[in-house]
Amino acid sequence: MSSQRTAVITGASSENGIGIATARRFARDGWAVAVLDLAGDRAEVVAKSITSEHGVPAFGHAVDVADETAVDAARDAVTAEVTAGRLPEIGAVVNIAGITSPVDFLDTTLDLWRRVMDVNATGTYLVTKAFLPRMVDSGWGRIVNMSSVSAQRGGGVFGKVPYSAAKAAILGFTKALARELGPTGVTVNAVTPGAVDTDIRVGSTAEQEAQIAGSIPVGRTATTEEVAAAITFLCSADSSYLTGVTLDVNGGSHLH
Ligand SMILES: NC(=O)c1ccc[n+]([C@@H]2O[C@H](COP(=O)([O-])OP(=O)(O)OC[C@H]3O[C@@H](n4cnc5c(N)ncnc54)[C@H](O)[C@@H]3O)[C@@H](O)[C@H]2O)c1
């Protein structure tokens, strides 16, 4: 893959996150990137650093993936860059933006439930819907959605009921959309990481972290680069016959 296509990546600006590692890996593989994040200033900084480090076109813009108006505005901003020739055509959409809910069920509130569902599940729906028509028109595209091992085994890492439910919704979304888009040249897949070394578990205790690492057959949590490699593989030309797949990146912590 050369820089002839742009990967649109949400949730790609937190310093130690999976999104930024994925944006960097796309750039290393020759893709242009559009970095979308709630932290819009930071998204612009990340985009600039990607261009200077990897020499590919990059664009950063604010988005709240749970807000349709904000998603459409971000889509319009990215497509304006494509129309102006500053970014190549959109070839991939990677829905990484997400929030967790490390709260026991009876302590959850409807507001928490809605926010976790909105950012993780509705955000995936809105961003995919906004960018999909261009990929269908061009006859080639890749969508990768960020689920979690929590969807498959009912939490057990850090996110609990709302998070597991939202990430499970993403798996159903992925499979149904893959089926519907089958003939279009656009594939739709999901990744289900186990515990990854990012700031999302910032509130977890040393005891929880030791318990998490001890429960993983390979004996450690994943690096963000290991998750990024799985995502960019699913966006590569080599993955052309994979659609509707759930790709586990969990060090053996959930074996089917
Ligand atoms: N870290 C893990 O152990 C792990 C495991 C499995 C899945 N995941 C998933 O991977 C994704 C990335 O997580 P991470 O660990 O890198 O966390 P992170 O908190 O470092 O990154 C999340 C990113 O999403 C952005 N974001 C949050 N709400 C947003 C919104 N409404 N609109 C746009 N952007 C928003 C944040 O600003 C941040 O840049 C999440 O979907 C998470 O659920 C993480």
Span 151-172, pLDDT tens digits: 999 987 778 999 999 999 999 9
Task: Using CA atoms of 9, 12, 17, 19 in order, give the dihedral in degrees to the nearest 10.
Answer: 10
Cα of 70 vs centre of ligand 1, distance in Å, is 18
- Quote the number of domains for the chain: 1
Instruction: Give domain status of residue 114, yes or no.
Output: yes
Token pair 């798996």 is found at 171
Positive/negative CA dihedral, 54, 58, 62, 64: negative
Residue having the nearest C-alpha atom to atom 23 of ligand 1: 11
Instruction: Give domain status of residue 153, yes or no.
Output: yes
Q: Is 241 annotated in the active site? A: no
Q: Which residues contact 23 (CB under 8 A, 6 or more apart)?
A: 7, 9, 12, 33, 35, 46, 50, 58
Instruction: Give domain status of residue 255, yes or no.
Output: no
CA atoms within 13 A on the CB side of 3: 18
The answer to whether the CB of 64 is under 6 A from ligand 1 is yes
The answer to whether the CB of 97 is under 6 A from ligand 1 is yes
The pLDDT score that the predictor gives to residue 122 is 98
The answer to whether the CB of 71 is under 6 A from ligand 1 is no
The pLDDT score that the predictor gives to residue 3 is 43
pLDDT tens sequence for the chain (256 residues):
444 899 999 999 999 999 999 999 999 999 999 999 999 999 999 999 999 999 999 999 999 999 999 999 999 999 999 999 999 999 999 999 999 988 999 999 999 999 999 999 999 999 999 999 999 999 999 999 999 999 999 987 778 999 999 999 999 999 999 999 999 999 999 999 999 999 877 777 888 888 888 889 999 999 999 999 999 999 999 999 999 999 999 999 999 9
d(CA 11, CA 150): 19
The answer to whether the CB of 248 is under 6 A from ligand 1 is no
Task: Using CA atoms of 42, 132, 230, 121 in order, give the dihedral in degrees to the nearest 10.
Answer: 70
The answer to whether the CB of 98 is under 6 A from ligand 1 is yes
Residue having the nearest C-alpha atom to atom 20 of ligand 1: 17
Ligand 1 mutation pick, 64, 65, 99, 226, max ligand atoms within 8 A of CB: 99
116 and 141 in contact (C-beta within 8 Å)?
no
CA atoms within 13 A on the CB side of 74: 34
Residue having the nearest C-alpha atom to atom 43 of ligand 1: 98
Chain segment 104-137, per-residue pLDDT in tens: 999 999 999 999 999 999 999 999 999 999 999 9
Instruction: Give domain status of residue 39, yes or no.
Output: yes
The answer to whether the CB of 200 is under 6 A from ligand 1 is yes
Instruction: Kindly state the helix (H) or strand (E) to which residue 197 belongs, with its residue range.
Output: none
The pLDDT score that the predictor gives to residue 12 is 96
Instruction: Give domain status of residue 185, yes or no.
Output: yes
Ligand 1 mutation pick, 8, 14, 22, max ligand atoms within 8 A of CB: 14
Instruction: Give domain status of residue 31, yes or no.
Output: yes
Instruction: Give domain status of residue 142, yes or no.
Output: yes
User: Whats the size of the chain, residue-wise?
Assistant: 256
26 and 51 in contact (C-beta within 8 Å)?
no
Which residue in the list 163, 190, 200, 245 is annotated as catalytic?
163
Instruction: Give domain status of residue 123, yes or no.
Output: yes
- Domain of 110 in residue numbering reads as 5-249
The CATH number linked to 162 is: 3.40.50.720
